[in-house]
Amino acid sequence: MTMTTDRRIEMSARAYDEGSVFTAANLLREARRQRNLHDIPVPAVCLLDPDGDVVRHLVTTGAAQRHEGWACYHSELWVTDIGGREVGIVPCAVGGPYAVLVAEQLAASGCTLLISVTSAGVINPLAPLPHFVLIERAWRDDGTSGHYLPTTDWAHLRRDLSESLTGAFEGLDEPVHRGASWTTDAPFRETPSAIASANAAGVHAVEMEAASLYAYATATGQRVVCIAHVTNSMAVDGDDFEKGEDAGTHRILALTATIAAHLEEQQG
């Protein structure tokens, strides 16, 4: 008779107050050594661009340059100027594990404010598509958040950031709504039953990063703001995934600049 043992790490057994043996700083140190890169800080404000549309547009128009010191094995970092503010942008950081991997390395490299603007599917619409939603809480249907925080239903935007962003978007050309998202690791398993459950929970949009990023931010004290760019109804009705002129690049950058400037003003 063969005996088997279930060796999965239970979330309840994780030591959340322990530091990791493997750190982003150590990885970056070795990457710089192997690739002969200088230790050049990244911009204090960085943007995750999961679809890559912003970076593609900026590179095509000559408005972004590659960061010469970015040592991450798995991503590229581009730098652009938004109204006199240098902003770093990482394209195609899709999904919680990848987004948090990049977030950890950006923080270790000098980023003090990380903004994520991710495409999202509509669950309970707050406005006609497309529209922006400041994600105040994210339903944790991901795996990454459980490595940073004990089990709960939701991961939250830090309260101080939420309060500091009050009135921040009034000067933009379009409203930014406040709402809740559902963070999933499996976008092609958004079944009718799962969507109904999300709707019942008060979710407005479904995306793939916010719960992971918010759990990371809460556990580490980092500043992270997640925006859902609600662009689609799961491609079941009408022309989906349309972001507007230049794939929404200028609207996304204006939103990023507004968040950065307002938090800088509010928090000194």
* CA gap 214, 118 in Å, rounded: 14
Torsion of Cα atoms, 64 then 260 then 73 then 19, to 10°: 170
Q: What is the pLDDT along the chain (268 residues), one digit of tens a residue?
A: 455 555 555 655 578 999 999 999 999 999 999 999 999 999 999 999 999 999 999 999 999 999 999 999 999 999 999 989 999 999 999 999 999 999 999 999 999 999 999 999 999 999 999 999 999 999 999 999 999 999 999 999 999 999 999 999 998 989 999 999 999 999 999 999 999 999 999 999 999 999 999 999 999 999 999 999 999 898 887 778 888 888 889 999 999 999 999 999 876 5
Q: What pLDDT sits at residue 23?
A: 96
Closest CA to 234 of 133, 120, 157, 83: 120
Model confidence over 42-89: pLDDT tens digits?
999 999 999 999 999 999 999 999 999 999 999 999 999 998 999 999
Q: For the chain, state the CA radius of gyration.
A: 19
Helices marked H in 51-132: 53-60, 96-108
Helices marked H in 16-92: 24-35, 53-60
DSSP 51: T
DSSP 179: E
Tokens standing for residue 81:
């100027």
Q: How many CB atoms lie within 10 A of CB 243?
A: 19
* CA gap 263, 164 in Å, rounded: 6
DSSP 13: G
121 touches 234 (CB < 8 A): yes
* CA gap 162, 19 in Å, rounded: 27
Tokens standing for residue 63:
């408005």
Go through the domains of the chain in sequence order and give each one's CATH number.
38-267 (3.40.50.1580)
CA distances from 24 to 18, 27, 30, 104, 116 (A): 15, 5, 10, 6, 19
Q: What pLDDT sits at residue 235?
A: 85
Cα three-residue angle 201-203-205, rounded to 5 degrees: 155
* CA gap 154, 136 in Å, rounded: 10
CA distances from 84 to 7, 52, 57, 78, 225 (A): 52, 22, 19, 16, 21
